[in-house]
Structure 1
Amino acid sequence: MAKTVLITGASQGSGKATALLFARNGYDVVLAARQPDRLETVAQEIQSLGRSALAISTDMGDFQQVQTLVNKALQTFGNIDILINNAGICLTAPMEKTSLSDWQKIMDTNFWGYVYAIQAILPHFLERNTGTIINVGSIGGKMPLPQMTAYCASKYAITGLTESLRLELFPKGIQVCAVHPGVINSNFMERAMFRGGDESETEARRQQMSKLLESSWVSKPEDIANAIWDAVQNKRSEVVVGPTFLATEAYRLFPGLMQWVMSQNVK
């Protein structure tokens, strides 16, 4: 019987790359995201690889939709072996330009979406005394980033959630891992939000991010997919992807220096 993986944010970028990688390695795949057309396209690609795929349009910030997602997945495949929490959005904005609505939106997706998925699937894992939870975090969950307070708050929350949950679930046979990418060169700009004092400042932030995405050290979706596969196969507790490791290690070792360096770019 084939193993089954449930992946959120699976319609594009690293979520899609991860879905295809697991399918190539013999997994059936449950795909969740908000855009049904893109999800169906990914499902067809998986089916062309000879694996089964179930695409379910889901707003991860809505617990009832998430519960329905998990219920349908279990009804279809019987078991879920791996949950990969990957859905997320990015917000670049100074605190004074970050509205409460912005905060609500980013926390609903980046934090509560993960909590809802874990809450919905955990009884199944506990009943079987096995299962794997992969939470895709960010460099912003390992070190602060200028002009990204709300985003970093959501990702630091994921770091705390993952590390605490690992301690709780390890004795029960359930693996919990964090995979921390840096900037990913995918469809990132479609989901990113920018705020500034006026339109020109907002556009400047957007252009700055677009330029950053052209850098040679930016990760590709396949890099994140491979890191997730590594985490599952080798039961890793944490994987920091690519050059992001150098930045997070520098911050761990020299936090004061790194904060000073980053503060020089704040305007």
Structure 2
Amino acid sequence: MSPTVIITGASQGIGKATALLFAQQGYDVVLAARQPERLEVVAAEVRNLGRQALAIPTDVSQVEQVNHLIEKALDVYSHIDVLVNNAGICMTGPIENTSLSDWQQIMNVNFWAYLYTIQAILPHFLQRGTGTIVNVGSFGGKMPLPNMTAYCTSKYAVTGLTETLRLELQPKGIHVCAVQPSVTNSDFMERSQFRGKDEQEAQKYRQQMNDILNTAVASQPEDVAQAIWDVVKHHKDEIVVGSGAVTTTVYRLFPSLMQWIMQKTS
């Protein structure tokens, strides 16, 4: 019986790269994202690698759709071995230009969606006494980033959820781990939102992000997919990917200095 993985945000970028890597490693794959056409393209690529693929269009911010995702996956495969929570959005802009609606959206996708999938699949993992939960966060869940308060809050919440769940579930045979990417050069800009006092300022933040994505500091989706595979295969607690590994270490050692630098350069 082949192992099975569920991946959210699987239609492009990190999610797609992860689906293909796990398929290459012998996993059958359940793919979840909002866009059916893109999901089916990835599903076809998984099948071309000789593995089974189940594409389930899902808005992970809607708990009913998440429950359907898990129920359908278990109906088809009877067992799930790995859950990869990957769906997410990015938001950049000063706090005074971030609305309550913005906050609700980013927390719904970046935090609540992770909790929905975990709550839905946890009884299955507990019954089997085994399973792996991978939460894809961000180096922005390890250190603050300028003009990204809402985003960092959502990612810090994921870090707290992951570390506390690990403490609770490890004795029950369930491995909970985190992959914290740095800026990743995928379809990132498609899911990014920018706020400012006016459209000109919002476009300034957009251009800054786009410039970073075209530098050597940006990771590639395949780098993050490999980190996800590594935490699963080697039962690691966390991997910080790419340039984020350096910046988060420096921040941990010299937080005041790093905050001063970020304030001066933002």
RMSD: 0.5
Gaps of 5+ in 1: none
Inter-partner Cα distance in structure 2 for 1:59 and 1:9 = 9
Query: Which TM-score applies when normalising by structure 2?
Result: 0.99
Inter-partner Cα distance in structure 1 for 2:234 and 2:199 = 47
Query: Which TM-score applies when normalising by structure 1?
Result: 0.99
Deviation, structure 1 residue 15: 0.4
Gaps of 5+ in 2: none
Q: Could you tell me which residue of structure 1 aligns to residue 212 of structure 2? A: 212
Structure 1 residue 35 corresponds to structure 2 residue 35: yes
Inter-partner Cα distance in structure 2 for 1:13 and 1:27 = 19
Deviation, structure 1 residue 243: 1.7
Inter-partner Cα distance in structure 1 for 2:159 and 2:122 = 18
**How many residue pairs get matched?**
266
Q: Deviations over 1:220-263 (max 9, x none)?
A: 00000000000001000011112211000000000000000001
Map residues 225-244 of structure 1 onto 2, 5 A cutoff: 225-244=225-244
Q: Deviations over 1:19-54 (max 9, x none)?
A: 000001100000001111100000000011110000
Structure 2 letter corresponding to 1:96: E
3-state SS in 2 of match to 1:80:
coil
Inter-partner Cα distance in structure 1 for 2:257 and 2:106 = 29
Structure 2 letter corresponding to 1:257: L
Q: Could you tell me which residue of structure 2 aligns to residue 247 of structure 1? A: 247
Structure 2 letter corresponding to 1:230: D
Deviation, structure 1 residue 265: 2.4
3-state SS in 2 of match to 1:143:
coil
Taking only the aligned residue pairs, the percentage that are identical comes to 65
Inter-partner Cα distance in structure 2 for 1:224 and 1:247 = 17
Inter-partner Cα distance in structure 1 for 2:102 and 2:166 = 30
Q: Could you tell me which residue of structure 1 aligns to residue 62 of structure 2? A: 62
Inter-partner Cα distance in structure 2 for 1:104 and 1:36 = 25
Q: Could you tell me which residue of structure 1 aligns to residue 98 of structure 2? A: 98
3-state SS in 1 of match to 2:265:
coil
Q: Deviations over 1:107-152 (max 9, x none)?
A: 0000000000000000000000000000001011000001000000
3-state SS in 1 of match to 2:219:
coil
3-state SS in 2 of match to 1:232:
helix
Structure 2 letter corresponding to 1:255: P
Q: Could you tell me which residue of structure 1 aligns to residue 187 of structure 2? A: 187
**Structure 1 outlier segments of 4+, above 6 Å:** none
